[in-house]
Structure 1
Amino acid sequence: MAQGRLEPPTLDPPTLDPPTLGSRARIAGAALAAVLLLVLSTAPVALGHEGPGFAGSSGTAGPHGAPVVAQPPPGSLPGIDVSHWQETIDWSQVAASGQRFAIAKATEGQTYVDPMYVANRAGAAANGVVFGAYHFARPDATPNDAILEADHFVDIAQPAPGDLIPVLDLERTGGLTQAEVTAWILAWLGRVTERLGVRPMVYTSPNGWEQRTGDSTAVVGAGYTTLWVAHWGVSSPRVPAANWGGYGWTFWQYSDCGSVPGIQGCVDLDWFAGTSFEAVTIPLPDRTPPVPTLAPPGGVARPVTVSFGEVVRGVTVGNLVLLRADTATPEETELTCRSGKGLVVDCLSGNVRTVLVQPREPLIPGQTYRAAVNPPGTLPLIVDRSGNPAPATTVDFAAPTELEQDSAAVAYAWRTVAARDALGGSYLAERSAGAAATFAFPGRSITWYTVVGPDQGRASVWIDGERLGTFDQYAPRKEHRVARSFTGLPRGDHTIAIRVLGTGSSASSDTLVAIDGFEAGGRRIATPELALSWGTVRAPGASGGSVAASDGKRASVELTFRGTGIAWTTVRGPDQGRAAIYVDGALVRTVDNFASEPTFGVVRTVSGLAEGVHELRIVVLGEARGKATGTFVSVDRFSIVP
């Protein structure tokens, strides 16, 4: 092997022919080399930093300076592997000596760069020697070490079409277990595959693989079928991992101390098992464009999913768009890009395989939309790693026309109560269990301004999905602008939810909960933008097992849709009252949902509208016929008429 510092070796026993005069000399030479290796291995070494590692430096491939096997394997080609230990190389002499390929060290660990890599690459290329690069692995338990080492290698080595596929040289464990080393190897190989589009090969000795991975077949089982085995001084190498999953060896480092013209001192000698490097060469530039597949969303608030057949980059809201098909008006969207492993990556520079196109606002039920990749006239374009642009691709789809009461397209409003002492001269109120008011805010604290009084009930408060407490709003006398403060939140954006429990103290006359305003980020907001819901009533006879209900006078529900009509599925019963139905701001009719017995699946239809976008608004009137026990209005579902 090339001269360098060695760690104490664990040697593969050499396999020797029966003794002859010549073989006795080789045995004696091997014994002497083993003694020298033992002396070197007990000397002080400096392996606590990156740099000294090279292919074979662990010493597990055989005795240093083992005899060179004279007979090449049938149908093989000769080559070498080098690092900075060979210093300056005369590549013209190397090529003239018949060496067909060379694999050079490029990097080690997370930061080290072999100082001779650039010169070795240029010299080999200038003299027609097929070239490849290897990374000397320094596994450790720090987060993402394998990914960082892989990125370092790709960034420095810059393997290019026509090069041999890249190499992972595994000769260290960094204190990891065999299972952890195997996982590290797969992570490194996977990252390089993701970035380059080719599967690297692995360099190891049989003993080294057994010691470091337990002779695992997981790597070849994952599709990394190319092995560069190091086994010196033998007529045929022993191949680990069940003959590398039946694939055998592709490259064989058979000596660490050969002599090649143009190189001073020892150099590693290798065979390639074949006469053509095509199967182990990075292919020429890809001329095939990446093919996008667009999947419509599964609901009005779900994303369009765009998948690419290979890694792409340069994804923006300009070249991956969602439009209204009739007007070509773009919708505001947010993009989430993911790698082939499902990890979130940067849409511009990451290895993107899938993009989620999320509308900022719910889609309009019944409206036809168009999702488009690289629409005409757009620059820059989405491209693959070779710069091939994805073809302009579109898919048209209609937003759903069947909506349950809890669809994101359905907007609820609570009763508005005028009050001179309220923050904005009024506040919102709801009494039905399950009703909720949600508010998004920035900062580390928030104050909810509410109302207490003899008709107020209980509410629970949640921030970012965590329940912070239950509050009884009852008080003998009504009081406005009552502050409930929540502090000590982490920096960033948050969401507070006030949920009506539909219960109150024994002294309370009602179960009302009031939202007067909020204070967050140094601002007091008297009329906050809220996401509101009505109470939830479980009902086996309802289409989805529940309905939304409110009896708050002037509480309302709104739905923007496209079509010629709409059917509102509601409930009739003894506690149901009257509602007014408006379309595009005009009163269509008033309905009375009282019935002596509960009846589900009651349909109220508005039809005969001009085809287009319309707005439905249903208002709770807070009144009912004399026999009724309540004034509730219920929403079960909506159906859009095209």
Structure 2
Amino acid sequence: MPVHRPGSVRPRRLFLAGILLAAFSLLFTVPANAADTPARGSAHMGIGVVAHDGQGGLPADTRATQTEGVDVASYQGNVAWSTLYSSGVRWAYTKASEGTYYTNPYFAQQYNGSYDVGMIRGAYHFATPDTTSGTTQANYFVDHGGGWSQDGKTLPGALDIEWNPYGASCYGKTQSAMVTWIRDFLNQYKARTGRDAVIYTATSWWTECTGNYSGFASSNPLWIARYASTVGTLPAGWSYYTMWQYTSSGPTVGDHDKFNGALDRVQALANG
């Protein structure tokens, strides 16, 4: 028969309780980076620019005529379009969709509201190349507000292709696979609308994730993201930008842009 030694049971119970408590903590503790990951659908143009490229000064005076614009998404809610128009904003892009799982609940107010005050407007799609194909996402975009009409007030759709806010920057794709995904999206968008989509990106992301591919520059207008006094180096192939997102902290809505030309050039892009 085992001999009971006084005081031997309590330490054993405390030891077992400690093991259980540690296991429980590991099971239910949320990693710090998981808590910082945004909810699917909340991505928007420039979501990774400050973190990856930083934020500098406002654009320097280029002595060239440029036209002020803005881009908006659901996190900005109902937009005061008349205030923006009065401040000189003449064109706008509204997020329409993301992946094949999200549409902007404020799309009607934002897209139609800019049009109603006299702006030239367009829609953009936030790409998630790790969820579905480029062809599938182009169809989803067109079917959910990303189409084009020859009314002189509608800009071609824009593909927002940048850092992945939900995981690996390049969405787990090789550079060649990323180029293929983008090409599939652009080809399908043109097949559906007759227009070449605008590409919104940042030079550092484009270099990392496409290998600085130059093959889209001849047909797709470039919308560059850089929050500094100059646009800096452009992605390969493009000798000039069409649009430039230069800040995420502008008046009325944060994301402000410059169109590289006077208003008649914005109208020319709308007319195709």
TM-score normalized by structure 1?
0.34
Identity %: 30
Residue by residue over 1:65-92, the C-alpha shift from the partner in whole angstroms, topping out at 9 and shown as x without a partner, is: x432353661211111111121111111
Is the 1:103–1:134 contact (alpha carbons within 8 Å) kept by the matching residues of 2?
A: yes
The answer to whether residue 190 in structure 2 is matched with residue 193 in structure 1 is yes
Q: How many Å separate the matches in 1 of 2:110 and 2:118?
A: 12
- Number of residue pairs matched by the alignment: 229
Give the CA deviation at 1:203.
0.4
Could you tell me which residue of structure 1 aligns to residue 260 of structure 2? Answer: 273
Give the CA deviation at 1:141.
6.8
Q: How many Å separate the matches in 1 of 2:67 and 2:111?
A: 19
Q: How many Å separate the matches in 2 of 1:115 and 1:237?
A: 35
Give the CA deviation at 1:250.
0.5
Tell me the amino acid that sits aligned with residue 235 of structure 2.
P
- Report the secondary structure of 1:156's partner residue: helix
Counterparts of 1:405-416 in structure 2, within 5 Å, are none
Residue by residue over 1:325-346, the C-alpha shift from the partner in whole angstroms, topping out at 9 and shown as x without a partner, is: xxxxxxxxxxxxxxxxxxxxxx
- Report the secondary structure of 2:100's partner residue: coil
Counterparts of 1:139-218 in structure 2, within 5 Å, are 139-140=129-130, 145-157=133-145, 158-161=147-150, 162=152, 163-171=154-162, 172=164, 173-218=170-215
Q: How many Å separate the matches in 1 of 2:194 and 2:104?
A: 24
- Report the secondary structure of 2:138's partner residue: helix
- The structure-2 alpha-carbon separation of the partners of 1:93 and 1:72, relative to structure 1 and needing over 3 Å to count, comes to farther
Tell me the amino acid that sits aligned with residue 45 of structure 1.
D
Is the 2:99–2:131 contact (alpha carbons within 8 Å) kept by the matching residues of 1?
A: no
Residue by residue over 1:393-448, the C-alpha shift from the partner in whole angstroms, topping out at 9 and shown as x without a partner, is: xxxxxxxxxxxxxxxxxxxxxxxxxxxxxxxxxxxxxxxxxxxxxxxxxxxxxxxx
Counterparts of 1:16-415 in structure 2, within 5 Å, are 44-47=35-38, 50-59=40-49, 62-64=53-55, 66-69=56-59, 71=61, 74-140=64-130, 145-157=133-145, 158-161=147-150, 162=152, 163-171=154-162, 172=164, 173-220=170-217, 223-242=218-237, 244=238, 246=239, 248-260=240-252, 263=253, 267-275=254-262, 276=264, 277-283=266-272
- Report the secondary structure of 1:219's partner residue: coil
Give the CA deviation at 1:110.
1.1
Tell me the amino acid that sits aligned with residue 178 of structure 1.
Q
Determine which structure has the larger strand proportion and give its number: 1
Tell me the amino acid that sits aligned with residue 270 of structure 1.
D
- The structure-2 alpha-carbon separation of the partners of 1:134 and 1:206, relative to structure 1 and needing over 3 Å to count, comes to same
Q: How many Å separate the matches in 1 of 2:74 and 2:234?
A: 28
- Report the secondary structure of 2:192's partner residue: helix
RMSD: 2.1
Q: How many Å separate the matches in 2 of 1:84 and 1:257?
A: 16
Give the CA deviation at 1:196.
0.1
Tell me the amino acid that sits aligned with residue 191 of structure 1.
Q
Q: How many Å separate the matches in 2 of 1:81 and 1:159?
A: 17
Residue by residue over 1:280-317, the C-alpha shift from the partner in whole angstroms, topping out at 9 and shown as x without a partner, is: 2145xxxxxxxxxxxxxxxxxxxxxxxxxxxxxxxxxx
Could you tell me which residue of structure 1 aligns to residue 14 of structure 2? Answer: none
Q: How many Å separate the matches in 2 of 1:73 and 1:200?
A: 28
Q: How many Å separate the matches in 1 of 2:142 and 2:68?
A: 26
Tell me the amino acid that sits aligned with residue 123 of structure 1.
G
Tell me the amino acid that sits aligned with residue 250 of structure 1.
T
Pair member with larger Rg: 1
Tell me the amino acid that sits aligned with residue 67 of structure 2.
L
Tell me the amino acid that sits aligned with residue 149 of structure 1.
Q
Give the CA deviation at 1:258.
1.1
Structure showing greater relative contact order (alpha-carbon pairs closer than 8 Å, 6 or more residues apart): 2
Give the CA deviation at 1:104.
1.0
Tell me the amino acid that sits aligned with residue 154 of structure 1.
V
Q: Which runs of 5+ in 1 are unaligned?
A: 1-40, 284-642
Q: How many Å separate the matches in 1 of 2:224 and 2:203?
A: 7
Q: How many Å separate the matches in 2 of 1:226 and 1:217?
A: 12
Give the CA deviation at 1:224.
2.6
Residue by residue over 1:256-285, the C-alpha shift from the partner in whole angstroms, topping out at 9 and shown as x without a partner, is: 11113xx4xxx11110011122332145xx
Tell me the amino acid that sits aligned with residue 269 of structure 1.
H
Residue by residue over 1:14-58, the C-alpha shift from the partner in whole angstroms, topping out at 9 and shown as x without a partner, is: xxxxxxxxxxxxxxxxxxxxxxxxxxx9672334x6302110112
Q: How many Å separate the matches in 2 of 1:138 and 1:71?
A: 36
Q: How many Å separate the matches in 2 of 1:228 and 1:58?
A: 15
Q: Which runs of 5+ in 2 are unaligned?
A: 1-31, 165-169
Is the 1:182–1:213 contact (alpha carbons within 8 Å) kept by the matching residues of 2?
A: yes
Give the CA deviation at 1:111.
2.1
Q: How many Å separate the matches in 2 of 1:184 and 1:63?
A: 27
Is the 1:198–1:282 contact (alpha carbons within 8 Å) kept by the matching residues of 2?
A: no
- Report the secondary structure of 2:114's partner residue: helix
Determine which structure has the larger helix proportion and give its number: 2
Q: How many Å separate the matches in 2 of 1:186 and 1:269?
A: 27
Q: How many Å separate the matches in 2 of 1:185 and 1:152?
A: 15
Q: How many Å separate the matches in 2 of 1:187 and 1:168?
A: 12
Residue by residue over 1:359-408, the C-alpha shift from the partner in whole angstroms, topping out at 9 and shown as x without a partner, is: xxxxxxxxxxxxxxxxxxxxxxxxxxxxxxxxxxxxxxxxxxxxxxxxxx
Give the CA deviation at 1:236.
3.7
Is the 1:237–1:252 contact (alpha carbons within 8 Å) kept by the matching residues of 2?
A: no
Is the 2:226–2:244 contact (alpha carbons within 8 Å) kept by the matching residues of 1?
A: yes
Is the 2:53–2:204 contact (alpha carbons within 8 Å) kept by the matching residues of 1?
A: no
TM-score normalized by structure 2?
0.78
Q: How many Å separate the matches in 1 of 2:127 and 2:161?
A: 5
